[in-house]
């Protein structure tokens, strides 16, 4: 089974050396805030960078720490510790024009104690005249730094080449990418009962369980077996509001949640029945939809809501999480061990669905029937035509539908086609990837006369 889990690269350094500018240059988007004021980055961001067949998650750590003189060192310490903790590769950035700063000597000492791979770069070499300054940084013990200008683009290609040479085929030692063992991530708000469920399934205390929200700050793999099937559960840190992420530990817990969603084959979205569905639950659901992962909505602590009819709560979920309308719902009590294996059983069925294929003639007959029942809306007096369709992948099932003027097909109609395929195939409870592309009629496949 496929995953979307990549090695992680963290950019660290003192404030105002250009970490966010480098982040933007590598991802080719202005997604990190860049200002001259040291410490201006408030949201830490993760993006995937691809280069010549390799890929990695780039993490902008610019906002970790504080900027006043009294607490600056402590903030930098947290940044370095967090970068070392989460990253496979660390980019240590200095300012070539400013020369070696005392705080960078302390950073270097910390980095020398780690076994992580270090890429040493000297930024703000905006012209070759600045290059001589790189030799002064050799006293930090990492050799001669790679000279670059994140703002001007100088040296960015060379940095990508260095990173590509260091990247493993997948993220972590012992990474199970491509494994036939199902990887199931438990995600959701803090204190929803994720760790309790993992421990109940494992029948031992494999992860720390506490009534204090946010106890789990790491993503923990726990191996279990169900009905002879080996399964790996990924217990993630609970998600909290960004405005309340006060330190690097909380932030990287949030980063791990997103990375766990991408890495996993399926997702158990934990909902606290007593608390209901909040904005953060919707954000997590959006992440699941974004990465097109099979999902089971697990309503935990159902024993604490005995007076609520199941049908009423199902309607509440449908209205509140419309993006997951296809996801099955299971009600459990992890504390009382009530129905704790139901989410696993349902998930294994979803993963089986995700591997299904629809034969091309059957798929095209399905599309034709959908068009007969509901034709695409006209656009400027003309009607788009759906010509033919093919399935291009599994896990998740991916389809390509060829049409004339696909740009004129409205999103509401695209959702209708997706729903029709789901309801008339074995793919009823999983997300589908469907792209509409320009094409011409072929063979004996009928075109829709609209």
| Each residue's pLDDT tens digit, 403-443 | 998 989 999 999 999 999 999 999 999 999 999 999 865 54
124 or 215: whose pLDDT is higher? 124
Local structure of 170: helix, strand or coil:
coil
What is the average per-residue pLDDT within 381-389?
88
Q: Is the pLDDT of residue 368 over 70?
A: yes
Q: Answer whether 183-353 and 360-438 agree in fold.
A: no
Q: How far is CA 249 from the centre of its chain?
A: 18
Question: For the ranges 194-203, 224-233, 240-249, 403-412, which has the lowest average pLDDT?
Answer: 240-249
pLDDT of residue 165: 83
The confidence band for 391, taking pLDDT boundaries of 50, 70 and 90, is very high
DSSP string, 378-415: PBTTB--EEEEEEEEETTTTEEEEEEESGGGS-HHHHH
CB proximity list for 359: less than 8 A, separation 6 or greater: none
pLDDT of residue 212: 43
| Each residue's pLDDT tens digit, 164-183 | 888 765 443 334 445 578 99
What is the average per-residue pLDDT within 103-108?
88
Q: Is the pLDDT of residue 311 over 90?
A: yes
| Each residue's pLDDT tens digit, 41-50 | 333 457 788 8
Q: Is the pLDDT of residue 374 over 80?
A: yes
Q: How far is CA 32 from the centre of its chain?
A: 17
Question: For the ranges 1-15, 223-237, 340-354, which has the lowest average pLDDT?
Answer: 1-15
| Each residue's pLDDT tens digit, 144-169 | 999 999 999 999 999 988 888 887 65
Alpha helices by DSSP H, 326-397: 342-354, 360-373
| Each residue's pLDDT tens digit, 315-358 | 999 999 999 999 999 999 999 999 999 999 999 999 999 999 99
Exposure letters 324-343 (e unless 16+ CB within 10 A, then b): bebbbbbbbbbbeeeebeeb
Question: For the ranges 79-93, 198-212, 289-303, 432-446, which has the lowest average pLDDT?
Answer: 198-212
Provide the CATH topology of domain 360-438.
Answer: GMP Synthetase; Chain A, domain 3 (3.30.300)
Q: Is the pLDDT of residue 56 over 50?
A: yes
What kind and span of H or E run contains 8?
Answer: strand 8-12
The confidence band for 8, taking pLDDT boundaries of 50, 70 and 90, is confident
Instruction: Report phi then psi at 226, rounded to 5.
Output: -135, 120
- Mean pLDDT (the chain) is 81
What is the average per-residue pLDDT within 215-231?
73
Q: Is the pLDDT of residue 235 over 70?
A: yes
Q: Give dist(CA 434, CA 399) in Å, integer.
A: 5
Q: Looking at domain 8-166, does it have CATH number 3.40.50.300?
A: yes
The confidence band for 224, taking pLDDT boundaries of 50, 70 and 90, is confident
pLDDT of residue 356: 93
What is the average per-residue pLDDT within 369-389?
90
**Helix, strand, coil tally for the chain in percent (to 5):** 35, 20, 40
CB proximity list for 143: less than 8 A, separation 6 or greater: 120
pLDDT of residue 34: 47
Segments making up each domain of the chain, as ranges: 8-166, 183-353, 360-438
What is the average per-residue pLDDT within 228-244?
70
46 or 112: whose pLDDT is higher? 112
Instruction: Calculate the alpha carbon distances from 262 to 34, 265, 432 in Å.
Output: 28, 8, 16
The confidence band for 143, taking pLDDT boundaries of 50, 70 and 90, is very high
pLDDT of residue 72: 54
Q: Looking at domain 183-353, does it have CATH number 3.40.50.300?
A: yes
């Amino acid at each position: 089974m496929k995953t979307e889990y990549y090695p992680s690269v963290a950019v660290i350094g003192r404030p105002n050396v250009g970490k966010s500018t480098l982040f933007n240059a590598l991802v080719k988007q202005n997604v990190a805030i860049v200002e001259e004021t040291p410490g201006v980055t408030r949201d830490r961001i993760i993006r995937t960078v691809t280069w010549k067949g390799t890929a990695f998650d780039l993490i902008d750590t610019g906002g970790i720490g504080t900027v006043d003189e009294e607490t600056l060192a402590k903030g930098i310490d947290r940044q370095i510790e967090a970068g070392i903790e989460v990253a496979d590769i660390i980019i240590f950035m200095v300012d070539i024009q400013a020369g070696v700063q005392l705080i960078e000597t302390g950073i270097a000492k910390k980095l020398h104690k780690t076994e992580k791979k270090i890429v040493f770069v000297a930024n703000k070499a905006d012209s070759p005249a600045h290059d001589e300054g790189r030799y002064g940084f050799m006293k930090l013990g990492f050799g001669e730094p790679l000279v670059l200008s994140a703002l001007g683009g100088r040296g960015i290609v060379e940095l990508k080449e260095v990173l590509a040479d260091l990247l493993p085929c997948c993220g972590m030692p012992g990474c199970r990418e491509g494994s036939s063992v199902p990887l199931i991530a438990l995600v959701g708000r803090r204190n929803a009962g994720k760790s309790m469920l993992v421990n109940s399934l494992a029948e031992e205390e494999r992860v720390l369980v506490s009534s204090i929200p946010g106890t789990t700050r790491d993503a923990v793999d726990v191996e279990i077996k169900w009905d002879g099937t080996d399964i790996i559960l990924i217990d993630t840190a609970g998600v909290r509001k960004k405005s309340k992420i006060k330190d690097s530990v909380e932030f990287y817990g949030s980063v791990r949640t997103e990375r766990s969603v991408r890495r996993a084959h399926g997702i158990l979205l934990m909902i606290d029945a007593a608390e209901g569905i909040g904005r953060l639950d919707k954000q997590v659901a959006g992440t699941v939809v974004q990465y097109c992962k099979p999902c089971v909505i697990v309503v935990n602590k159902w024993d604490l809501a005995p007076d609520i009819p199941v049908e009423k709560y199902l309607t509440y979920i449908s209205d509140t999480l419309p993006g997951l309308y296809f996801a099955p719902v299971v009600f459990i009590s992890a504390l009382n061990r009530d129905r704790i294996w139901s989410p696993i059983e349902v998930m294994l069925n979803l993963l089986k669905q995700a591997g299904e294929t629809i034969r091309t003639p059957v798929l095209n007959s399905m599309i034709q029937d959908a068009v007969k029942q509901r034709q695409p809306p006209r656009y400027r007096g003309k009607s788009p035509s759906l010509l033919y369709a093919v399935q291009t992948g599994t896990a998740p099932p991916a389809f390509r539908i060829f049409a004339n003027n696909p740009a004129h097909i409205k999103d509401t109609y695209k959702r209708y086609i997706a729903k029709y395929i789901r309801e008339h195939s074995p793919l009823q409870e999983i997300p589908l990837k469907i792209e509409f592309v320009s094409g011409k009629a072929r063979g004996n496949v009928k075109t829709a006369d609209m």
